[in-house]
Amino acid sequence: MLTFEGQKLQGVDDICSKINQLPFDKCHHLISTIDAQPSSFAGGVVVFVSGSLRLTCEEHPLRFSQMFHLIPTSQGSFYVQNDIFRLNYG
């Protein structure tokens, strides 16, 4: 599940469609902070990131916050179970 600026999307098709509809094709992330904690799911990790995005079409960077929940797979990798993204205005 992805919540992007308040819009709730669920499933691979809906999430990929939203990402592909964004009005830019390049974005540079400047990370300010990363905080991580173990989750109640065995081996899971909750991650909170804040920073700035620089888009080629924008003069000024945009501040953002993002939280995501990583769940381990039996193959030794992780997948994103939940993702919440917000631009920080003001």
Please report, rounded to a whole number, the percentage of residues in the chain having pLDDT higher than 70: 99
In tens, the pLDDT along 34-76 reads 999 999 989 999 999 999 999 887 788 999 999 999 999 999 9
Question: Which domains are delineated in the chain?
Answer: 2-87 (3.10.450.50)
Q: Are 9 and 30 in contact (CB under 8 A)?
A: no
For residue 90, pLDDT over 90 is answered with no
Rg of the chain in Å (alpha carbons): 14
Exposed, middle or buried, 19 (CB in 10 Å: 0-12/13-18/19+)?
exposed
Q: Are 12 and 20 in contact (CB under 8 A)?
A: no
